[in-house]
Structure 1
Amino acid sequence: MTKLKLGPLADDRPVKLTVELPAAIHRDLVAYAAALASETGGSPAAPEKLVAPMLARFMATDRAFTRAQRQGQNHGISKASA
C-alpha cells in the first residue's frame, strides 16, 4: 500500500462543527479510515475524526495559504497549530 497523507490521529480538544457531506464523501471517509487503520495497525477511526486532520493537512500544504500567513496577509486567517 502507498503511504497515506495522514498519520495517527491526535487526541485534541475538539470544537463542534456541523456539516453535511455527500454520501460519496462519507463512503470515502469510511474507506480511508479502514486504510489508515490497516497502515497504522489500529482500529478504524470514526469518519468524523478524519475531517480535521485532513483539513489541517490540506491547509498546511496549500502554498498560497501558508505564504499569506507568513506575510501577515491573513484577512482573518488564524495560525492554528496542526
Structure 2
Amino acid sequence: MAKLKLGPIVDEKPVKATVELPAALHRDLSAYAEVLARESSQPVADPMKLIVPMLERFIATDRAFSRARRSLQSSRTPL
C-alpha cells in the first residue's frame, strides 16, 4: 500500500472557519479519509477534519514559502 502524506489526526480544540468546497474535492476528501482509516486502523468520521493537517503538511513542505517566511522574519525590525 502507498504511504500517505498524512498520519493519524490529532484531536485538538478547533478554531471555527467556514469553507465552501467543490463537490469533487469533498468526494476526494471522503475517499482519502477511507484510505487513511484503513491504513492507520483509526476511523476518520469526518473527512473535513483532514483539511487542517493537509494544509499544515502543505505549508510545512513548501520550500519557497519557508524561504520567503524566513526572509520576511529577518527583515522585520523589533519594536
> Could you state the TM-score of these two structures normalised by the residue count of structure 1?
0.82
Identical positions, percent: 63
Higher RCO (C-alpha 8 Å, min separation 6): 2
Q: CA deviation at 1:58?
A: 0.5
Identify unmatched segments of 5+ residues in structure 2: 74-79
Equivalent positions of 1:32-71 (< 5 A) are 32-71=32-71
In the alignment of these two chains, the number of paired residues is 73
Structure with the largest fraction of helix: 2
The one-letter code of the counterpart of 1:51 is I
CA deviation profile, 1:10-62 (whole Å, cap 9, x unmatched): 11121111011010000000000000000001113311100000000000111
CA distance in 2, matches of 1:11, 1:45: 12
Identify unmatched segments of 5+ residues in structure 1: 75-82
Larger Rg: 2
Q: CA RMSD in A?
A: 1.2
